[in-house]
Amino acid sequence: MWVAMGALLACFVVYVVQCWLKPFAPCRKCRGEGEVHGRILGDRTCPRCRGRKLRLRVGRRAHNAWRRTHEQGSR
């Protein structure tokens, strides 16, 4: 039980550090290429990242939302 909790805590800490050091990750839809390859329409710009090739990590998005809410609540 303690080993599992320690492993989970270690994974959480690694993810937090990763979100802090590198807040952007490759887009999942285009795999960081910026283009989506289709059979019918051919190659086109990725609609999810709009060709920027990167996306904001979920943890960083949650942190930004929490920080915005905290700042608005403390005014």
pLDDT tens sequence across 26-58: 998 888 888 888 788 788 888 888 888 888 898
pLDDT for the residue 43? 84
Q: Confidence band (pLDDT; 50, 70, 90) for 9?
A: very high
Average of per-residue pLDDT values in the chain: 88
The domain limits of the chain are: 2-73
pLDDT for the residue 5? 94
Q: Which two tokens stand for residue 45?
A: 């710009």
Count of H-run helices and E-run strands, the chain: 2, 4
Q: Which two tokens stand for residue 52?
A: 């920027």
Distance of CA 25 to the CA centre of its chain: 6
pLDDT for the residue 6? 94
Q: Which two tokens stand for residue 23?
A: 């807040």
Residues 53/34, Cβ–Cβ less than 8 Å: yes
Question: Does pTM top 0.95 for this prediction?
Answer: no
Q: Which two tokens stand for residue 54?
A: 């990167």
